[in-house]
Amino acid sequence: MTDTALTPERLQAAVLHHLTYTIGKDAPHASLHDWRMALCYAIRDRVVGPWFASTRRTWEEDRKRVYYLSMEYLIGRILEDAAMNLGLRDMAVEVMEGFGQDFHALVEDEPAAALGNGGLGRLAACFMESMATLGCPAYGYGIRYEHGLFRQRFEAGQQVEAPEDWLTTTNPWEFDRPESAYTIGFKGHVETVKGRERWVPGETVTASAHDTPVVGWQGRWANTLRLWSAKPTTLFDLERFNRGDYAAAAEPEALARTISRVLYPDDTTYAGKELRLKQEFFMTSAALQDILRRYLASHSDLSRLHEKVAIQMNDTHPAIAGPELMRLMMDDHGVSFEEAIQTAQKVLGYTNHTLLPEALERWSTYLFGNVLPRHMQIIERIDDWHRKTYANQAHYIGIVKFQEVHMGELAFMMSHKVNGVSALHSELVKTSLFPELAAQHPDRIVNETNGVTPRRWLNMCNRPLSGLITGTIGEAWVGELDRLRELEPHIEDAGFRAAFGAAKRANKEAAAAWIKRECGVVVSPDALFDVHVKRIHEYKRQLLNILQTVAHWHAIRENPTADWVPRVKIFGGKSAPGYWVAKEIIHLINDVANVVNSDPVVGDRLKVIYPANYNVPMAELLMPAADLSEQISTAGKEASGTGNMKFMMNGAPTIGTLDGANIEILEEVGAENFFLFGLTAEEVVARRQNPDHAREAILASQSLQDVLQMLAEGRFSPDQRDRYHGVVDRVWHHDYFLVASDFAAYEAAQGAVDAAYRDRDRWQRMAAMNTARAGFFSSDRTIRGYMKDIWSTESAL
């Protein structure tokens, strides 16, 4: 039974039981996969107790529930995380050893759920874990994509995408809930019956639920991640089948399932595809129907919905929630427009994650009105209402502009709170994204600086360091990350610093061994590991890094006998499949790596490593091994960043610009423990006013001129000398992200890094200070902020 204390004997029996009766295998013939599944089921059993208890408490106490709506959850592997939160990891290691199974190998056998692109999806996963840890009654809603984010390979240095298939083997963490199913409509027309509007969809699919329990630290609370998969509403066409028309008979089924087939792999440019709109409505409508069903099971008065329900929209992707909630209230429950809009606003919150204009969702009214005709009507009415309520505007503020539906404006108008994800970003949301709306609603925009869960991103992924921390200050820091400050007095202790250095060293050795296996390149753990991992995007400026890398290589060749600090430049990241400029940068990094890594003059003093398929498990390996965190976006462009926080926690100082949460990292850790460089957000805007900004910057830096010259001559592409003419031309003439203007400052900052690293004692202090001051960046702090400022809800613990 789950409520008796677990002993190694009981866990052993549970694993054996599942191996036999769930997997149907005899121990002598069981594969690694069989053992892994048996262990997952045994661990999952232990989650069920807290899960039921939490659900029961929430019902009994009629608590307010938080509903997080997100098109992405970048969860990663679950086994070790769940085992650790339940306090069972060490026991599992021991028990599996008894079966002759290596725990680490079992962990690695699990496919990492990659139902997200990057930051936004990973944030949703961290939030789910923190809400469980804090005892905040919550559900996450999303899509159970059959194929998550594509796998990346390199062929001749270029990105090639392959489908991801995390569901080819059974997912042991989910419970299918076929009884929780809703009909989702598309297209069709609107009828008026007895003065009430009624949508008659032309197509329908069924959304069917799959629940994954999410258990918090120490198993005190567990919430549900409910992912929807699409199924045909009607069974396949038997008549056609009997006629022998097998393909046609299966067609409706295939079409319906298309909706939850694959995650859109683009995280920056909005494409305006019908399937994407259908996915968004599919997830949102299923969630709202489920939320109202649960509410109406114990309440009847929809006007008090906000007392028991808070719905958070993760960017505008679920922004159709506003009109859909109103439609359900008005058309199905007879609520008036005025009451419906007021209730919806009190319930909904909107988090903005980007200012990039190309990423803001806008749908053509033609497409939108075709797929969601009733919602189009409601949106037009919201627009009218808003215009009347906030009259006398200098110019038109609305949702529908130039035949397009603007989802940002819609989400803003339908929410009681709108938040940015770092202090700078929230300020820019106010002043540059929604200036008019912000003036009309001065209290609506708030800031909730992002955070990451320290359970996964320090305690789990960095055993050497977390062991040292726990040995030094006890284990309470895992649940109260601010307590990392208690490390500070120990930093004065040379013994502690040596132990801190030894932990980093162990992680670097592990990473070096992995790099050897993965890339066939030998790197020295004595070198400075300089890590730049994130999606590839022009604004994130991987180009700036690789250009400086070329400059550094060139400098070593010019003066090979000088006392260089050995460096390993590590890159990781995927490009959206259609983002050609990003793909060119990937190609360039791989081409530079080829030349540098085979240069006998340079040897161990510089290596360039770019392992393919950066994902959550790779981050868990590389972040603990990093000496230096690259956070070098053009100021004003990175909403927050969260990788920056993970590096900091794991004792890697940042080289970075004043952008996103870098600014808050700098404030926490102090300028002496951060390598700051580059133009500020304001200077960036001013700099672009000068049409000669790039040319002037290039002419002022001999080093940058040399680098661009080498690229132009084909030094890194001897098989195709003109390959990087486009890159060089863009730096000279179309340098929107100011690579040239920040180059000299970046190069100087890298020089300062070398100088600091030479002084090992100084570096050790900096690294340890980064960990000690990382407390603010726990997603527990972020979630407490949302609970207080946006959701008006309290912990059940």
Judged by CB under 6 A, which of 85, 117, 223, 466 binds ligand 26Q?
117
Q: 591 is written with which tokens?
A: 């081409």
> In 10 A of CB 750, how many CB atoms?
22
Candidate segments 119-127, 174-182, 513-521, 671-679, binder of ligand 26Q by CB under 6 A = 119-127
- Which residue of the chain is nearest ligand 26Q when measured via CB? 119
Q: Taking CB under 6 A as the criterion, which residues in 546-605 touch ligand 26Q?
A: none
Q: Report the largest interatomic distance among the alpha carbons of the chain, rounded to a whole angstrom.
A: 89
Beta strands at 222-232 and 138-143: parallel, antiparallel or unpaired: parallel
Q: Is 183 an active-site residue? A: no
Q: Which one of the listed residues 133, 549, 642, 782 is annotated catalytic?
A: 642
In angstroms, what is the minimal distance from the CB of 120 to ligand 26Q?
3
Residue-wise DSSP of 144-189: --SB-SPEEEEETTEEEEE---TTSS--TT-EEEEEEEEEEEES-E
Q: 351 is written with which tokens?
A: 């988090």
Q: 30 is written with which tokens?
A: 């069981």
Candidate segments 228-236, 268-276, 334-342, 692-700, binder of ligand 26Q by CB under 6 A = 268-276
Question: Judged by CB under 6 A, does residue 449 bind ligand 26Q?
Answer: no
Q: Is 430 an active-site residue? A: no
Judged by CB under 6 A, which of 275, 359, 510, 796 binds ligand 26Q?
359
Of 567, 507, 548, the residue nearest 757 (C-alpha) = 567
Residue 67's beta-bridge partner residues? 139, 311
3 state SS of 136: coil
Q: Which one of the listed residues 646, 723, 730, 781 is annotated catalytic?
A: 646
Q: Is 535 an active-site residue? A: yes
Please state the φ and ψ torsions of residue 224, each to the nearest 5 degrees. Answer: -115, 130
Judged by CB under 6 A, which of 34, 361, 538, 591 binds ligand 26Q?
361
Q: Which is nearer to ligand 26Q, 174 or 659 (CB)?
A: 659
Judged by CB under 6 A, which of 573, 617, 641, 656 binds ligand 26Q?
641
In angstroms, what is the minimal distance from the CB of 464 to ligand 26Q?
27
Q: Which one of the listed residues 226, 497, 534, 574 is annotated catalytic?
A: 534
Question: Judged by CB under 6 A, does residue 448 bind ligand 26Q?
Answer: no
Contact between residue 68 and residue 127 where contact means Cβ atoms under 8 Å apart: yes
- Buried b / exposed e over 386-406, threshold 16 CB at 10 Å, is beeeeeeeeeebbbbeeebbb
Contact between residue 549 and residue 596 where contact means Cβ atoms under 8 Å apart: yes
Q: Taking CB under 6 A as the criterion, which residues in 394-433 touch ligand 26Q?
A: 421
Contact between residue 627 and residue 529 where contact means Cβ atoms under 8 Å apart: yes
Question: Judged by CB under 6 A, does residue 450 bind ligand 26Q?
Answer: yes
Unique residue bearing structure tokens 């919201």: 382
Please state the φ and ψ torsions of residue 102, each to the nearest 5 degrees. Answer: -85, 120
Q: Is 401 an active-site residue? A: no
Judged by CB under 6 A, which of 50, 118, 157, 322 binds ligand 26Q?
118
Candidate segments 74-82, 294-302, 633-641, 681-689, binder of ligand 26Q by CB under 6 A = 633-641
Rounded distance between C-alpha atoms, residue 54 and residue 40, angstroms = 21
Judged by CB under 6 A, which of 46, 65, 147, 353 binds ligand 26Q?
353
Q: Which is nearer to ligand 26Q, 428 or 515 (CB)?
A: 428
Residue 504's alpha-carbon distances to 461, 481, 497, 527, 650, in angstroms, are: 12, 20, 11, 12, 9
In angstroms, what is the minimal distance from the CB of 640 to ligand 26Q?
4
Q: Is 642 an active-site residue? A: yes
Rounded distance between C-alpha atoms, residue 649 and residue 458, angstroms = 7
Q: Which one of the listed residues 327, 444, 504, 540 is annotated catalytic?
A: 540
Contact between residue 385 and residue 377 where contact means Cβ atoms under 8 Å apart: no
Q: Taking CB under 6 A as the criterion, which residues in 272-301 touch ligand 26Q?
A: 276
Q: Which is nearer to ligand 26Q, 47 or 445 (CB)?
A: 445
Q: Which one of the listed residues 25, 89, 504, 535 is annotated catalytic?
A: 535
In angstroms, what is the minimal distance from the CB of 408 to ligand 26Q?
12
Unique residue bearing structure tokens 């320290």: 454
Judged by CB under 6 A, which of 82, 107, 120, 708 binds ligand 26Q?
120
Question: Which positions are catalytic?
Answer: 353, 534-535, 540, 642, 646
Binding site for ligand 26Q (CB under 6 A): 117-120, 123, 264, 266-267, 270-271, 276, 353-354, 359, 361, 421, 450, 638-642, 660
